[in-house]
Structure 1
Amino acid sequence: MCGNYDAMSEESRKEFLTLDQEKLIHKYQLESDENYLYIKVLGQDYQISRQLGTVTCRGSMKPAEHDIVMAIYDVFCCSDVNEKFPEMAGNWETLAQMGGIVGAGHARKLHQPDVIRPLEGKTEEIRKACESLGGLACKGGDVSYLLPVFPFLKVWFQYWDSDEEFPASIRFLWDKNSIKILHYEIIFYTTKYIEDKIKELIR
Structure 2
Amino acid sequence: MESNYKVAYYNEWKTLQKREFKNVAEIRNVIYDEDKKEFSIKVFNREYILNCNDETIRRSGDNHIPSAETGVMILNYLSFTENNIDKTNKWVSLKEIPNGGMMFYPAFYKSSIVSLINTFGYDSSKLRKCGENLDGKETKMGDIAFEFEVFPKVFCRVAVWEGDDEIEPSATILFDSSIQYMMHVESIIGLGGYIINKIINELGRD
Task: Tell me which interval the TM-score lies in, with the shorter structure as reference length.
Answer: 0.7 to 0.9
Q: Give the % identical residues.
A: 22
Q: Quick one: distance in 2 between partners of 1:122 and 1:164?
A: 13
Return the offset for 1:201: 1.6
Please give the per-residue CA displacement for 1:87-113, whole angstroms capped at 9, x wherever unaligned: 33332111122245414324432333x
Whether 2:26 is the aligned partner of 1:26: answer yes
User: Unpaired runs of 5+ in structure 1?
Assistant: none
Aligned residues: 199
Q: 1:89 to 1:175 in 2, by over 3 A?
A: same
**1:17–1:53 Cα contact (<8 Å) kept:** no
Compute the RMSD of aligned alpha carbons.
2.0
Name the CA distance, whole Å, in 2 between partners of 1:12 and 1:29.
19
Extract unaligned runs of 5+ from structure 2: none
Which letter does structure 2 place at the counterpart of 1:3? S
Q: 2 CA distance for matches of 1:164 and 1:39?
A: 44
Distance 1:100 1:70 in 2: 18
Answer yes or no: is the 8 Å Cα contact 2:90–2:177 preserved in 1: yes
Q: State the secondary structure of the residue aligned to 1:196.
A: helix
| Structure 1 residues 120 and 108: CA distance shift in structure 2, 3 A | closer
- Alpha-carbon distance in 2 for matches of 1:8, 1:100: 19
1:127-178: per-residue Cα shift (whole Å, max 9, x none)? 1112222211111112211111112220011112222322221111112231
For residues 129-144 of structure 1, the aligned pairs below 5 Å read 129-144=130-145
**TM-score of the two chains, using structure 1 as the length reference:** 0.87
1:195 corresponding residue in structure 2? 196
Hey, what does 1:49 align to over in structure 2? 51
Distance 1:39 1:115, change over 3 A: closer
Give 1:96's aligned residue. 95
Question: Shift of the alpha carbon at 1:28?
Answer: 2.6
What is the Cα deviation at residue 115 of structure 1? 5.8
3-state DSSP class of the match of 1:111?
Answer: helix
Give, as a single letter, the amino acid of the residue that structure 2 aligns with 1:66: A
Spell out, residue by residue over 1:51-104, the C-alpha distance to the aligned partner (whole angstroms, 9 max, x if none). 122111013432123343112111111122x3xx12333321111222454143
Is the alpha carbon distance of 1:106 and 1:61 closer, same or farther for their aligned partners in structure 2, counting shifts above 3 Å? same
Distance change in 2, residues 1:134/1:68 (3 Å): farther
1:86 is matched with: 85
Instruction: Give the partner amino acid of 1:21.
Output: F
Change (3 A) 1:106 1:86: farther
Please say which of residues 137-146 and 54-63 is displaced more in the overlay. Answer: 54-63
